Chains A and B, each alone.
Chain A
Amino acid sequence: MSFRDWLVGTVVSTQSQTPTAKSIVLEVPGFGGSSAGQHIDVRLSAPDGYAAVRAYSLASTGPSSTIEITVDLIPDGEVSPYLVHELQEGDELELRGPLGRWFVWKPEVTAPVQLVAGGSGIVPLLAMVRAHAAAASTVQFKLLYSVRTPRDMFYASEFAALASPTFEVTYVYTRETPEGWPTPAGRVSRELLESATIPPSESPAVFVCGPTGFVESVASWLVELGHSAETVKTERFGGA
């Protein structure tokens, strides 16, 4: 069995993260585990043999054959509406993986880690936070998480529960803040990045994931702030 072979997973549970995003937990016999940050291909097949495949980041990590993805609805998409609205507990889903060996964090790496997420770009970064907690790693982890409104946040309670001396989250609300939030809604800026992230002097490994525009600005600012381009890994979400 290789990561290139198609496997059949069974949906164990689903959970809404936001009005348009759903987490799907699957039991996948034969799945060989994954590193934090990897993704899978998901294949949907119609009765006439037509198939559509899309890649989804894994929120889960480690050796388990129980895996989790979180899918954000793309309204005119072909695959995400099915996964968010149709797929139910007990359904079978074809997938293969884990895929990708670049945008990956491994617990044996000792550099501090700065994560920067825009919207649904949080999913592979959550896998890294989970791997960090599972390994009881003492490496410093910081997450800057940008969402439009409080309702658009994924895994809010889990992030709150995982907060520790070695894991700190800064939230940024671009359209609407929670009540009583000390700063007005606004996008991530270079100044905010500078004040809320691990400085280049500590040589962090940086992972940036989100929509293209977000990733382009953040990654460019990080380099301007003095991070070496080789230490900034990016992944962009797009397409349908």
Chain B
Amino acid sequence: MAVISRGFTGRPRESQPDLPPGQYLTKDFPVLSAGPTPAIDTADWSFVIKTETGKDASWNWEEFNALPKEDVTTDIHCVTRWSKLGTQWRGVSLDTLFENVESSYDYVMVHSYGGYTTNLPLDEILDGQAWIATEFEGEPLTPDHGGPARMLVPHLYFWKSAKWVRGITMQRDDNPGFWEQNGYHTNGDPWREERYW
């Protein structure tokens, strides 16, 4: 039974069916990261998918931007409790990137410039659920928000949408990534409030 906070009324209740439990709306776009923002020159940028077969799929910046892109309008939810509704992104669907990738593994580890990692089941990033985004609100993605390219997995808490991505490695087991080793939940479903473990 919750303790009632004497004198606390909270913000006016608005019907917000799009807001997961324990989240509040923000119009800003707060920044959360664990270390310095890496400076990435698109001339040096590449994105690589590695599998157990040893056959890598890789794209440089030019090749990546020649892939078909999709416009995505979606809500995003940060584990630190802000949510932002109706954000607009543009990027390459993971379905496109995985078209010719063969692997028997069910999990992925996403790797970023700067060393950040996050783990996901393959099921959570295929079938129109995830993108590598290069634009936010019609502009190239800025470095503090993960530019030149970041994961976008909007149905999970936003730490799964790794900034500054450089590649994906298939993994047999659901080994934890960076925040997952440092106290955050391995799945991160905002509708189930999978924040911490």
Chain A residues near B (Cβ < 8 Å)? 3-4, 6, 8, 43-55, 78, 82, 86, 91-94, 99-103, 212, 216, 219-220, 222-223, 229-230, 232-234, 236, 238-240
- Contact of A238 with B30 in the complex, beta carbons under 8 Å: yes
Alpha-carbon distance A223/B143, docked complex (angstroms): 15
- Contact of B196 with A233 in the complex, beta carbons under 8 Å: no
Chain A nearest CB: distance from B84 CB in Å? 11
Instruction: Confirm or deny: B114 has a beta carbon within 8 angstroms of a beta carbon on chain A.
Output: yes
Contacting residues of chain B (128-145) with chain A, CB-CB under 8 angstroms: 144
- Contact of B34 with A102 in the complex, beta carbons under 8 Å: yes
For B26, the closest partner residue in chain A by CB is: A239
Alpha-carbon distance A92/B182, docked complex (angstroms): 29
10 closest A-B pairs by CB: A219-B36, A238-B30, A102-B182, A45-B2, A44-B5, A101-B182, A44-B8, A212-B31, A101-B183, A223-B36
Contacting residues, chain A, for B31 (C-beta < 8 A): 212, 216, 236, 238
Contacting residues, chain A, for B7 (C-beta < 8 A): 82, 86
Contacting residues of chain B (1-52) with chain A, CB-CB under 8 angstroms: 2-11, 13, 22, 24, 26, 28, 30-39
Chain A nearest CB: distance from B186 CB in Å? 14
- Contact of B24 with A229 in the complex, beta carbons under 8 Å: no
Chain B residues near A (Cβ < 8 Å)? 2-11, 13, 22, 24, 26, 28, 30-39, 80-82, 114-115, 144, 178-179, 181-183, 196-197
Contacting residues, chain B, for A100 (C-beta < 8 A): 182-183
Contacting residues, chain A, for B82 (C-beta < 8 A): 239
For A88, the closest partner residue in chain B by CB is: B6
- Contact of A229 with B22 in the complex, beta carbons under 8 Å: no
B26, B38, B80 — most chain A CB neighbours (10 Å): B80
- Contact of B13 with A50 in the complex, beta carbons under 8 Å: yes
Known: A222-B36, A233-B35, A234-B33. A78 touches B5 (CB 8 A): no
- Contact of A4 with B35 in the complex, beta carbons under 8 Å: no
Contacting residues, chain B, for A233 (C-beta < 8 A): 34-35
Contacting residues, chain A, for B38 (C-beta < 8 A): 229
- Contact of B81 with A220 in the complex, beta carbons under 8 Å: no
Chain A nearest CB: distance from B23 CB in Å? 9
- Contact of B81 with A216 in the complex, beta carbons under 8 Å: no
- Contact of B36 with A82 in the complex, beta carbons under 8 Å: no
Chain B nearest CB: distance from A68 CB in Å? 19
- Contact of A46 with B26 in the complex, beta carbons under 8 Å: no
Chain B nearest CB: distance from A80 CB in Å? 12
Contacting residues, chain B, for A93 (C-beta < 8 A): 3, 5
Alpha-carbon distance A44/B9, docked complex (angstroms): 9
8 Å CB contact of A239 from B13, B35, B81, B196: B81
Known: A50-B10, A229-B115. A236 touches B32 (CB 8 A): yes
Known: A44-B5, A45-B5. A219 touches B24 (CB 8 A): no
Alpha-carbon distance A50/B2, docked complex (angstroms): 10
